[in-house]
């Protein structure tokens, strides 16, 4: 029961990171015109694109199922 709850929380966090990373990626390429501020710092397009790729990669690697699929694809 605890393992399934932990797996569910990890899946939720992974999906949130994927959505946030996708949003940042759309902002960085100019599809969504908005400004993103990190505690008063406004990153430029390149930094925002790097942050979005890092968030998407972290989201994919947090979830066990997606991590196993990625590992099996490269083996």
The CA-CA-CA angle for residues 48, 72, 19, to 5°, reads: 30
Residues 14-69 pLDDT 10s: 999 999 999 889 888 888 877 777 777 778 889 889 999 999 999 988 887 888 88
pLDDT at 1 over 70: no
Q: pTM for the whole thing?
A: 0.80
Instruction: Determine the distance from the C-alpha atom of residue 64 to the mean position of all C-alpha atoms in its chain, rounded to a whole number.
Output: 15
How high is the pLDDT of residue 2?
67
Domain encompassing residue 64: 2-34+42-74
Task: Please state the domain count of the chain.
Answer: 1
């Amino acid at each position: 029961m605890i393992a399934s709850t932990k797996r569910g929380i990890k899946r939720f966090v992974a999906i949130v990171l994927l959505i946030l990373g996708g949003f940042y990626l759309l902002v960085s390429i100019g599809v969504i015109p908005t400004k993103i501020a990190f505690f008063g710092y406004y990153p430029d397009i390149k930094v925002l694109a790097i942050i979005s790729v890092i968030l998407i990669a972290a989201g994919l690697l947090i979830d066990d199922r997606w991590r196993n699929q990625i590992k099996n694809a490269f083996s």
